[in-house]
A and B are shown apart, each in its own frame.
Chain A
Amino acid sequence: MMKRILSTVAGFVVIGVANAPAQQPASSAPAGNAKAGQALFMKIGCYECHGNEGQGGAAGPRIGRSPMLAFRNFITYIRAPRGEMPPYSAKVIPEKDVADIYAYLASLPPAPAVESIPLLKPDR
């Protein structure tokens, strides 16, 4: 039964966080507190796969800026992820907390241009 419910929910989630094609303006997100969101990002374990600044890693994709996923898609994925990410129910993260995390990610400064970092110049 549980299996059927999950697969039904998953059926609605048509895009992943990493490469979501559909974008909504970030302004459509509920107002969130970026500072509180940063604390939540660490407290509930988002950093574990996505890095402290949402930069991504082997266990999870980049979820910071460049570009931000639309909030509705963001929260839909969190509730019923299609991939390996564990699900975050409304019981453990109410929508307000999700909005704070979203605000934190949106507040991150853009990454420096790769050309501005000598250590990342291609060899030769």
Chain B
Amino acid sequence: MAAKSKMERRKFLKGGMLAGAAAIAQPKAVMAQQSPSASEEAEVLITDSCGSDYMVDVIKSLGFEYVCANPGSSFRGMQESIINYGGNRNPEFITNCHEESSVAMAHGYFKIEGKPMAVLAHGTVGLQHASMAIYNAWCDRVPVYIMAGNYVDAAIRRPAEWYHGVQDCAGIVRDFTKWDDQPASLIHFGESAVRAYKIAMTPPMAPVLVVLDAGLQEGPNESRTKLSIPKLTVPAPPQGEAGAVNELARLLVAAENPVLVADRLARTTAAMPLLIELAETLQAAVIDQGGRMNFPSHHPLNQTQRAAAAVGEADLVVGLEVADFWATVNALRDQVHRSTRKLTKPGAKLATITSGDLYIKANYQDFRRLAEVDLAIAADGEVTLPALIEAVKRLATGDRQRLFQQRGAKLAEASRTTRERMRQAATYAWDANPVSTARVAAELWAVIKNEDWSLVSNYYSEAGIWPRRLWDFNKPYQWPGHAGGGGIGYGAPSSVGAALANKKYGRFSVSLQTDGDLMYAPGVLWTAAHHRIPLLSVMLNNRGYHQEIMHVQRMCNERNRGVDRGTMGSTLTDPHIDFAKIAQGMGLHAEGPITDPKDLGPALRRAAAAVKRGEPALVDIVTQAR
């Protein structure tokens, strides 16, 4: 903003109260009805022109359906523009009770919808709350579009706004965001807002941050006739270099036992059919590590439930957007002296296609251990698949195709046998109390399998593994993948965000919700109720942070000082938490705690009926630890 303009405004306000920031517009300012008695100059108290209206115009042009926020004064101008000027549509304001929930909701929403959700937060206290969830999204390579309010101009800050003012707003999250900017003018905002979207959506995707100066939001839009909305053109993702793709095709066709490992491959719904085509062309084993919904769980070539055996048999392992390829082909043993061993047989070739090779940062170590591979293609996996399939088809001669068919038959039999073994494994502790996690998965499957269902929870639940053993996943939206950074507290809000994305498609969203996770920010249940987001939350309530119980137990064992106190500090008992009452208090249909497995089916069916009416519902089940 021009210095001249600031000076004029200060003079204009002489003798008047500073009501909020200087909200003065010159061209169409409406004069206050009350005549100033003491001041010689009339104070302008109302304006119909503000910077945040233009910001909303820009945000609308980017296609956001929702903006999640816990309300904050540093973006009050933006919030008002969204709900009044923007009509609270595209984006619609979603009320959160914690900024971590806002970002995690946006994370879960993207996993289903394939486009970012916007988030608003205070640039200081809000961003601090949000930072863990931003880190999760960063590690998961998910774009979240964050706008942070800030009071850049110290001369206009109210006392509390000094706490909400910061020189470098993005500094706290810069290590785990892809790009940020603090625009100093509306023209600058328009360009940065569009640039941020482009950067966020270009693989490898990641969160971005645009700082909204409160003065810019609330100040007059003096140049609105000169402003335009920059055109958004999302860049085409980088495809693998042709020579390298042909070389990979040659390796695949020549291999006796190639294994395709997919993790974050399915960036869009186009990926699953492509991976099926590649796998079926080669009759190759597929391991779906579950970072995204990559491959049907019951496909005969799916060897996920016997992944170690498949990798051990392989003479070629190809990682497709695998976050931790080293750990795919190696194992680390967690004992007093940590040791590693290769999982592949000697001479096995390794290849990767990943956009992770295109962009990396130094501080946070989410890039994992360096995998020694024979061929590395730095490109987006999904967009590289068509060329790879074409090259494979060109090279697959009749002799090789006959071999492929024999291999496929063996893999289909291995897959069938493994599924049988999983069904058998589920029978153990079938009637146990607390309820076995296998029983929960089986009971839940009976309730949802005839619905257009979407499992929106993540891998922290053990039953997140049982569904993948027992359920028939075959649609891209049926599994959203993992949390990313391992920050607990992701599950509940990301499930609500994914359910929000599913709502307009009429899908039945279900989550397996762990107790420790929900206790981080249970207020997101209220958000689900308030915004009528249908979601069946099935609590896997093992009354503790069980992963940590196991870690401390390991220390007890290794130090040989007694092994019976490993649960101290990690349980959620005394008193037991009544999650049904918590959920009921936030307006949900809720039942539990259920301890007898015979009560489970009826409770799930009643809750499912509530979800079909468009409400969120929760069933609290006291389960075994894992």
A contact set with B: CB distance below 8 Å: 2-3, 6, 43-45, 47-49, 51-59, 62, 64, 83-84, 86-89, 91-93, 111-114, 117, 119-120, 122-123
Cβ contacts B546-578/A at 8 Å (1 or 0 each): 100110011011101011101100000000000
Contact yes or no, B425 A48, CB < 8 A = no
CA distance A43 to B556 in the complex (A): 13
With A45-B566, A47-B625, A64-B428 already in contact, the answer to whether A2 and B337 are too (CB < 8 A) is yes
Contact between B430 and A89 (Cβ–Cβ < 8 Å)? no
Bound Cα distance from A114 to B336, whole angstroms = 40
A51 touches B436 (CB 8 A): yes
Q: Please state if B427 and A57 are interface contacts (CB–CB under 8 Å).
A: no
Instruction: Give residues 356-385 of B contacting A (CB, 8 Å).
Output: none
Q: Which residues of A contact B334 (CB under 8 A)?
A: 84
Given A86-B556, A87-B558, A114-B423; 9 other pairs, CB 8 A cutoff: A45-B563, A52-B624, A56-B428, A57-B626, A58-B462, A59-B626, A111-B427, A111-B428, A112-B431
Identify which of B226-234, B253-261, B439-447 touches chain A.
Answer: B439-447
In the assembled complex, how far is the CB of residue A25 from the closest CB belonging to chain B, in whole angstroms? 23
Q: Whole-angstrom distance between the alpha carbons of A109 and B334 in the complex? A: 33
Q: Of A43, A87, A120, A123, which contacts B564 at CB under 8 A?
A: A43
B256 to chain A, nearest CB (A): 26
B425 contact set on A, CB distance < 8 A: 55-56, 62
| Complexed CA–CA distance, A84 and B551 (Å) | 12
Residues of A within 8 A of B549 (CB): 45, 48
Bitwise interface map of B from 517 to 559 toward A, beta carbon under 8 Å scored 1, else 0: 0000000000000000000000000000010011001101110
Please classify how large the interface on chain B is, using the bins under 10, 10 to 19, 20 to 34, 35 or more.
Answer: 35 or more
Q: A6-B335, A114-B423, A119-B443 are in contact. Are A59 and B550 (CB under 8 A)?
A: yes
Chain A neighbourhood of B337, CB < 8 A: 2-3, 6
What are the 8 A-B residue pairs with the smallest beta carbon separation, nearest first? A86-B557, A55-B428, A57-B626, A55-B429, A111-B427, A53-B429, A119-B442, A45-B553
Q: Chain B residues near A51 (CB, 8 Å)?
A: 428-429, 436, 624-626
Tell me the bound Cα distance from A36 to B86 in angstroms.
68
Which chain B residues border A44 with CB–CB below 8 Å? 563-564
Could you tell me if B625 and A53 are in contact, using CB atoms closer than 8 angstroms? no
Residues on B with beta carbons closer than 8 Å to the beta carbon of A52: 429, 432, 434, 624-625
B426 sits at the interface (CB 8 A) = yes
A123 to B423, CA, bound (A): 12
- Contact mask B29-45 → A, CB, 8 Å, 1/0? 00000000000000000
Would A120 and B423 count as touching, CB distance under 8 A? yes
Question: Is there an interface contact between A57 and B449, defined as CB atoms closer than 8 Å?
Answer: no
Per the 8 Å Cβ criterion, residues 577-626 of B in contact with A are 624-626
Within the complex, what minimum Cβ distance (angstroms) separates A83 from chain B?
7
Chain B residues contacting A120 (CB-CB under 8 Å) are 423, 426-427, 442, 470
CB-CB under 8 A from B426, the residues of chain A are 114, 120
A84 touching B333, Cβ below 8 Å: yes
Would you call B462 and A48 a contact (CB within 8 A)? no
Complex partner residue of B563 from A2, A3, A88, CB under 8 angstroms: A88
Contact between B550 and A48 (Cβ–Cβ < 8 Å)?
Answer: yes
* A57:B437 contact, CB within 8 angstroms: yes
Given contacts A47-B624, A59-B626, A64-B428, contact A89 B560 (CB under 8 A): yes
Set A49, A83, A86, A114: member contacting B427, Cβ < 8 A: A114
Q: How far apart sit A93 and B472, CA to CA, in the bound complex (Å)?
A: 43
A84 to B430, CA, bound (A): 26
Q: How far is the CB of A99 from chain B (nearest CB, A)?
A: 17
B465 within 8 Å of A by Cβ? yes
Task: Please determine whether A86 and B449 come into contact, CB atoms closer than 8 angstroms.
Answer: no
Query: Inside 8 A of B437's CB, which chain A residues have their CB?
Result: 57
Which of chain A's residues have a CB closer than 8 A to the CB of B558?
86-87
